[in-house]
Structure 1
Amino acid sequence: MNDRNGMPPSNPATSAEHDGSGSNGYRPDRYGDSLQTRMVHAGSDRSQPVRPLTEPIVQSSVYAFDEPPDFAHPPGGAVPQPMYSREHFPNVTALEAAVAELEGADAGYAVASGMAAIAHVLMTLLSQGDHVIIAEGSYCDTELLMHRILGRFGIETSVVSRCDHIAMERAMSDRTRLVFIETIANPSIEVCDIAGLSEICRRRGVVLVVDNTFATPALCRPIEHGADLVIHSATKFLGGHHDLTAGIIVGRGDLIEEIRPTGYLLGALLGAFDAWLALRGVRTLGPRMAWISESAQRIAGFLAAHPAVRHVSYPGLATGADAELVRTLLPDGAGGMILIHLEGGVAATEAVVRGLELIQFAPSLGGTVTTVCYPPVGRMGVYDPHLSSGQLRLSVGLEAVDDIIRDLDRALMRLPVVNDFTPVQQVETERMTS
């Protein structure tokens, strides 16, 4: 059954009218409203008196109907059910409902990857002649998508400092439709005053989109700070196990309803099993992000004191006004991503990567295993040490923090720069790694 525009009907499980509190879902008013509890139960279906405790996987591409009239007109006036996988089957809608609830959003729409989620937002909300602003220091592939693909269709992109609200507003024009930022930037690991920027966007009638991949709703909920849409690469911390690829958009119900037909026509479908894996990751998101944030704080402090390290970018080390912003934006932890600036440049980064034993080199992030890579810079899929300017991006996992620090210290101590290591510094490092 299609609407007058030829699109399938909205799925009631993730529409703006659905609040997750009906008889078919988890009820915060009855079972508890703490974020930790909601992570465990959000999106669950309790409509049957006897039911599986873990969501079953609906591995089908289409539904069958005993009665052809039910295809268009369900008996009893019920809301039409999805009939084809592009309309999103139960595992996908459960993930959408869960992340929307955790982010405080009206609705959600899940797709095949984080970049697919970004593309769906841009292709839905932007048209020829429009203008979009992206914060400087954001993920290079997002910026490339805007410049290389959107530019072909007459959409202009400006790159503006995330911390300069005056510059952001000056960059806006009557053609500006959207501002794109990240809660914690990839790879610069900078934070942005979402609330301050949202006031500007609201005054100018511009949609504010926030990529919350690095923080997750366990640490920050951008809608509470004024964002209109929130994007996740669920491949990363949300899924959290290095075993799925998925993306999700949540936010204002009217905007999600605009995005839904775009998704149906593009067909960037999230499979049932990947959706099931992502929801499994959501169930353990709270304790994982708490552990990871606590570990990352200790690791960042250790690195900042190490003579082989020139600078460490980590929100938990911020000072002054930046520290106050971090406390407001990330009150429950600063996440698991650290950008390490090494003394010794490219040669040092290559030597450290080769010297690590526990920590593995992998060009992704956000899973159970601690990984390191060169920060993505400039070109699609390129993690080139010669473009990284002596930087390494560390994604903290679930190992014991002392083991991670010990592995980093072994690799760093082999660098030539530590020849000037003083006895006092030696004692401090031994204390932190013992």
Structure 2
Amino acid sequence: MNDFPDELHPDTLAIRAGTLRTEFGEHSDAMYLTSSFCVGSAEEAALKFTNQMPGYIYSRFSNPTVTAFEQRLAALEGAERAIATASGMSAILALGMAHLKAGDHVVASSGLFGATIQLFNAYFVKFGVQISYASPTDPAAWAAAIRPNTRLFFLETPSNPLTEVADIAALAEIAHAHGALLAVDNCFCTPILQQPLKLGADLVVHSATKYLDGQGRVLGGAVAGSTALVEPVYLFLRTAGPSLSPFNAWVLLKGMETLPLRMRAHCDNALKLAQWLQAQPQVARVYYPGLPSHPQYALAQRQQRGGGGIVSFEVHGGREAAWRVVDAVQLMSRTANLGDVRTTITHPASTTHGRITPEARAAAGITEGLIRLSVGLEHDEDLIADLRRGLA
């Protein structure tokens, strides 16, 4: 693997970091589709299995293509190490299994992805982990939720789907003062727009399925941070096996080469759509961190390098009106995935957050009239025309 100096620009790291070249001198990243790796002797096998000799053993926990993806993401996040997983949800599972035990307490953001809330409430609690929720925009609420057994703060910023922006530095200070870790899901911003570790977070989680790939092709996830904190995640992955496949890692490496360019374009398009939506009489409210009307606009300006590609808006008329908008568009893809070059549209209350209780949705501010857009890279005028059709 190539080591690069820290001063390289993220645009360069997205292309060059983690590049592996063998004796064949391949210019592009190689794909190692093999389940296992041979050794030269019994002694070499013993040394590798006991971590006394570097090298690859079995692709459940060691594969050159996956390592290249991990090193590229770590370089972009400013992390000592990253570990790849099969999906974003398996990354959160691996983090929890590595750093939590029965009797521990977690303070989580009330503005989390529905599947993350389901993982916490339906599965982590089965193993004796206690969960409390606090508003992502109210650091005092997080401080008040702390118990003697609090071990982890977990949040998304911006949140899904209301794009609430949490003050990472403030929450890191509160967590560390009480001996807890802060983990941040950086899916919406990616390291191009935000680097939580540099703001005080201990661990960063990714659904690489989203912007890191950028074209809706494969699933993947990752956990990044210090070597000391990522090593337990690796040990869980080695044993339990929610691993990233080499093929998916190779696709993600190709996607990350254009990540800086795509994120800037996503931001430009999203801002134009948010500004247009704000002027429409059928729209009650627009949620986008790049708008001065956003409650955390000033914080987003300090903490992020752009507003991101997610725009949510609430229409008058509740679910019936929202579904009419979703059903009327002709260009946008009706799917709950996000981070794609293709714009997607969904109704969170009946899709991404449909499995959580109505009370939990209400607490998170997810109304029946809410629509979430993941703004892609089509021409902005075509996207506006499609939304105009839906709002007509």
TM-score after normalising by structure 1: 0.84
* 1:131-150 matched pairs, under 5 angstroms: 131-150=105-124
Write the letter of the residue equivalent to 1:120.
A
- With over 3 angstroms needed to count, the CA separation of the structure-2 counterparts of 1:26 and 1:106, relative to structure 1, is closer
2:353 aligns with: 377
- With over 3 angstroms needed to count, the CA separation of the structure-2 counterparts of 1:378 and 1:156, relative to structure 1, is farther
1:276 aligns with: 250
1:321 Cα shift? 6.8
Map Cα deviations across residues 80-127 of structure 1 (whole Å, 9 max, x no partner).
Answer: 312111222011111111101100001010010000000001111111
Write the letter of the residue equivalent to 1:27.
F
Structure 1 unaligned blocks of 5 or more: 1-23, 414-434
SS in 2 for 1:317: coil
Structure 2 unaligned blocks of 5 or more: none
2:104 aligns with: 130
2:9 to 34, 39, 47: 34
2:141 aligns with: 167
For the residues of structure 1 that align with 2:187 and 2:294, how far apart are their CA atoms? 25
1:290 matched to 2:264? The reply is yes
2:382 to 403, 407, 411: 403
1:390 aligns with: 369
Write the letter of the residue equivalent to 1:33.
L
1:364 to 337, 359, 381: 337
Write the letter of the residue equivalent to 2:31.
I
For the residues of structure 2 that align with 1:191 and 1:322, how far apart are their CA atoms? 6
SS in 2 for 1:119: helix
1:206 aligns with: 180
* 1:316-355 matched pairs, under 5 angstroms: 316-319=290-293, 322-330=296-304, 332-355=305-328
* 1:63-74 matched pairs, under 5 angstroms: 63-73=37-47
1:28 Cα shift? 3.1
Q: Tell me if structure 1 keeps the 8 A contact 2:69–2:252.
A: yes
Q: Tell me if structure 2 keeps the 8 A contact 1:26–1:44.
A: no
2:280 aligns with: 306
Q: Tell me if structure 2 keeps the 8 A contact 1:26–1:45.
A: no
1:45 Cα shift? 2.4
Of 248-257 and 312-321, deviating more is 312-321
TM-score after normalising by structure 2: 0.93
User: Which structure's relative contact order is higher, taking Cα pairs within 8 Å and 6+ residues apart?
Assistant: 2
1:368 Cα shift? 1.3
For these two proteins, the number of residue pairs brought into alignment is 381
1:241 matched to 2:241? The reply is no
SS in 2 for 1:110: strand
For the residues of structure 2 that align with 1:320 and 1:163, how far apart are their CA atoms? 12
Q: Tell me if structure 2 keeps the 8 A contact 1:198–1:226.
A: yes
For the residues of structure 2 that align with 1:89 and 1:126, how far apart are their CA atoms? 27
1:207 Cα shift? 0.3
Q: Tell me if structure 1 keeps the 8 A contact 2:158–2:165.
A: yes
1:265 Cα shift? 1.1
Return structure 1 stretches of 4+ with deviation > 3 angstroms.
318-321, 385-388
For the residues of structure 1 that align with 2:141 and 2:335, how far apart are their CA atoms? 36
- With over 3 angstroms needed to count, the CA separation of the structure-2 counterparts of 1:318 and 1:125, relative to structure 1, is farther
SS in 2 for 1:316: coil
For the residues of structure 1 that align with 2:353 and 2:263, how far apart are their CA atoms? 26
Q: Tell me if structure 1 keeps the 8 A contact 2:323–2:347.
A: no
- With over 3 angstroms needed to count, the CA separation of the structure-2 counterparts of 1:320 and 1:405, relative to structure 1, is closer
Write the letter of the residue equivalent to 1:234.
A
SS in 2 for 1:179: strand
Q: Tell me if structure 2 keeps the 8 A contact 1:28–1:38.
A: no
Map Cα deviations across residues 265-314 of structure 1 (whole Å, 9 max, x no partner).
Answer: 11112111001111111111000000010110010000011111110111
CA RMSD in angstroms comes to 2.0
SS in 1 for 2:355: coil
Q: Tell me if structure 2 keeps the 8 A contact 1:26–1:41.
A: no
Map Cα deviations across residues 17-67 of structure 1 (whole Å, 9 max, x no partner).
Answer: xxxxxxx304236xx61111111111112575x511111110000012243
* 1:10-49 matched pairs, under 5 angstroms: 24-28=1-5, 33-46=8-21
SS in 1 for 2:300: helix
Map Cα deviations across residues 357-387 of structure 1 (whole Å, 9 max, x no partner).
Answer: 111101211111101011122417x9xx998
For the residues of structure 1 that align with 2:56 and 2:371, how far apart are their CA atoms? 45
1:78 Cα shift? 8.2
For the residues of structure 1 that align with 2:158 and 2:353, how far apart are their CA atoms? 16
Write the letter of the residue equivalent to 2:18.
G
For the residues of structure 2 that align with 1:78 and 1:121, how far apart are their CA atoms? 26
For the residues of structure 2 that align with 1:378 and 1:396, how far apart are their CA atoms? 22
Write the letter of the residue equivalent to 1:25.
N
For the residues of structure 2 that align with 1:116 and 1:44, how far apart are their CA atoms? 25
For the residues of structure 2 that align with 1:395 and 1:163, how far apart are their CA atoms? 22
Q: Tell me if structure 1 keeps the 8 A contact 2:326–2:347.
A: no
SS in 1 for 2:18: coil
1:412 aligns with: 391
For the residues of structure 1 that align with 2:183 and 2:378, how far apart are their CA atoms? 33
